[in-house]
């Protein structure tokens, strides 16, 4: 109870799709829900449906879908929104409950300053207008995990309004093109969280935990369909989705369910539904309650929340008693979109590579630390970090912080390649050994395995000549104009040198001997 929650309301985003041959083929932008969740290698159903896009057949009527998201995000704070009870995930049931949380008569709410500051910072990050005056309201409804019979929220005048979130989606066959998208944010409001109902089917009873409700993030999706140019359809609300993947699947299913229902002469009910992730479908929960059922009224025990900026801050005001919007703005960390833009401009990397570096916790810092210690070009470092290094992490399901290879070790390895001490293929062998043998340096591994490049030009000349004499047919193919023949000879020479000869040097020697 009274856990601090931010509720974001994203107004409906529209996209169109056509009904063809009994199936729905989407023609739309990726829904707002499919932003990066920070989880590696995930792709949603919504993203995959872009690949199957088809033009509608003549005579088919197009459908348009509208999706609005209500996002409940729990604030990272030490205590609850309206009480001093500690916030601790997975604490024993009802072990963190104050008198106010239990709704004992005579108890009053006390607003948590940290939660207000976090709400303002979130609003600034989402380009919202921060209201210098916001109000709290009571939202009345009866449920077992809400002992007061009402929830304190911000219905009439929330803390932040009229924001937007700009993001990019990678599209194309190789997902190598970033397309900009923007979703509107209608409002951000501080809201008291309810308790959690624990249903015991074996004993046919429900237990209530008033510590706080669900995990750190959950989303409700409001979905409707209509024909373009016609009034919006009746919407349904899919409740309590706790991952971006399930959210995308629920949206796709509900859109197709509504279309099928309408095309078969049925009607869409204004109802609340849940998503069964095992079956991949939505299920009805209850009829949608109208706004009037909540009997909103001003919260009598909380005065208006007043915020200031540097221009309106009262003279001589105690900094501990007021919240300065401009001061919070100065504390705002660099946003991911700004970081990605800097990476593209500074290192000349592709936009999709900047996304990959930021989507993995700790990967950007790893990349930047490598760049500080290596003379290799940014393009080469990016390739090694995103392909080789990240590939090894995924194979063993490790986080960046758990990697046996440090940024310094990778930087030293790339420096060996850069000064032509070892070949690229030998570098891969060294990296594999680094991964297996923590504590060894790249230079030690090169020396132990004798992987350094050949420096004896005369020996290389003799190897190239012997290779051509041993493979006259390949030489003949090369003289006839087969461009692949030279690669065959280079491979044979490198095999003879155990990968220690530089391919470019081998090619120069072969071409010189062939023309001589």
pLDDT digits (tens, 9 = 90+) for 406-445: 999 999 999 999 988 888 888 999 999 999 887 789 999 9
pLDDT digits (tens, 9 = 90+) for 312-367: 888 888 878 899 999 999 999 999 989 999 999 999 998 889 989 998 999 999 99
pLDDT level of residue 288 (50, 70, 90 thresholds): low
Residues 6+ apart with CB under 8 A from 406: none
pLDDT digits (tens, 9 = 90+) for 389-413: 999 999 999 999 999 999 999 999 9
- Give the count of beta carbons closer than 10 Å to the beta carbon of residue 387: 10
pLDDT digits (tens, 9 = 90+) for 158-168: 999 999 998 87
DSSP string, 297-360: EE-TTSPPEE-B-TTTPPTT--TTT--BHHHHHHHPPPPHHHHHHHHHHHH---HHHHHHHHHS
Q: Average pLDDT in the 29-39 region?
A: 34
Length of the chain: 516
CA dihedral 93, 8, 234, 256 (to 10 degrees): -80
d(CA 352, CA 510): 39
Does residue 241 sit in helix, strand or coil? strand
pLDDT computed for residue 140 by the predictor: 92
d(CA 439, CA 445): 11
User: Contact, 1 vs 66, CB < 8 A?
Assistant: no
Q: Average pLDDT in the 225-234 region?
A: 94
Does residue 74 sit in helix, strand or coil? strand
pLDDT level of residue 96 (50, 70, 90 thresholds): very high
Mean pLDDT comparison of 48-52, 135-139, 314-318, 454-458, highest-scoring range: 135-139
pTM of the model: 0.74
């Amino acid at each position: 109870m009274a856990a601090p929650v931010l509720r974001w309301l994203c107004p409906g985003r529209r996209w169109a799709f056509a009904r063809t041959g009994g199936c729905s083929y989407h023609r739309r932008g990726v829904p707002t829900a499919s932003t990066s969740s920070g989880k590696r290698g995930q792709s949603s159903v919504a993203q995959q449906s872009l690949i199957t896009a088809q033009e509608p057949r003549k005579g088919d009527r197009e459908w348009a879908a509208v999706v609005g998201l209500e996002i409940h995000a729990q604030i990272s704070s030490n205590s609850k929104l309206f009480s001093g009870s500690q916030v601790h995930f997975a604490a024993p049931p009802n072990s963190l409950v104050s008198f106010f949380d239990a709704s004992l008569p005579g108890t009053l709410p006390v607003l948590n300053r940290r939660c207000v500051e976090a709400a303002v910072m979130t609003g600034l990050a989402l380009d919202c207008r921060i209201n210098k005056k916001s109000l709290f309201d009571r939202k009345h409804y009866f449920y077992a995990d809400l002992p007061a019979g009402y929830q304190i929220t911000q219905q009439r005048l929330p803390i932040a309004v009229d924001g937007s979130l700009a993001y990019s989606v990678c599209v194309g066959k190789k997902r190598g093109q970033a397309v900009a998208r923007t979703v509107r944010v209608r409002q951000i409001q501080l809201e008291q969280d309810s308790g959690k109902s624990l249903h015991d089917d074996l004993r046919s009873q429900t237990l209530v935990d008033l510590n706080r409700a669900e995990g750190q993030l959950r989303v409700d999706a409001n979905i409707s369909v209509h024909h373009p140019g016609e009034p919006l359809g009746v919407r349904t609300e899919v409740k309590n989705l706790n991952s971006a993947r399930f959210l995308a699947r629920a949206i796709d299913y509900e859109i197709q369910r509504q279309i099928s229902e309408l095309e078969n002469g049925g009607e869409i009910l204004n109802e609340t539904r849940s998503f069964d992730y095992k079956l991949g479908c939505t299920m009805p929960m209850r009829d949608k309650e109208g706004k009037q059922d909540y009997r909103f009224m001003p919260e009598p025990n909380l005065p208006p929340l007043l915020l200031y900026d540097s221009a309106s801050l009262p003279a001589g005001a105690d900094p501990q008693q007021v919240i300065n919007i401009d001061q919070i703005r100065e504390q705002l960390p660099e946003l991911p979109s700004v970081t990605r833009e800097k990476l593209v401009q500074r290192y000349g990397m592709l936009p999709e590579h900047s996304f990959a570096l930021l989507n993995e916790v700790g990967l950007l810092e790893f990349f930047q630390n490598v760049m500080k210690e290596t003379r290799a070009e940014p393009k080469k470092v990016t390739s090694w970090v995103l392909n080789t290094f990240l590939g090894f992490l995924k194979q063993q399901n490790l986080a960046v912080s758990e990697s046996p290879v440090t940024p310094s070790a990778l930087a030293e390895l790339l420096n060996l390649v850069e000064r032509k001490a070892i070949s690229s293929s030998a570098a891969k062998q060294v990296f594999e050994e680094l991964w297996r043998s923590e504590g060894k340096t790249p230079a030690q591994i090169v020396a132990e395995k004798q992987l350094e490049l050949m420096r004896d030009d005369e020996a290389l000349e003799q190897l190239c000549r012997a290779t051509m004499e041993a493979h006259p047919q390949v030489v003949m193919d090369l003289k006839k104009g087969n461009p692949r023949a030279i690669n065959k000879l280079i491979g044979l020479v490198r095999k003879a040198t155990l990968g220690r000869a530089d391919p470019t040097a081998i090619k120069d020697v072969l071409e010189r001997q062939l023309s001589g």
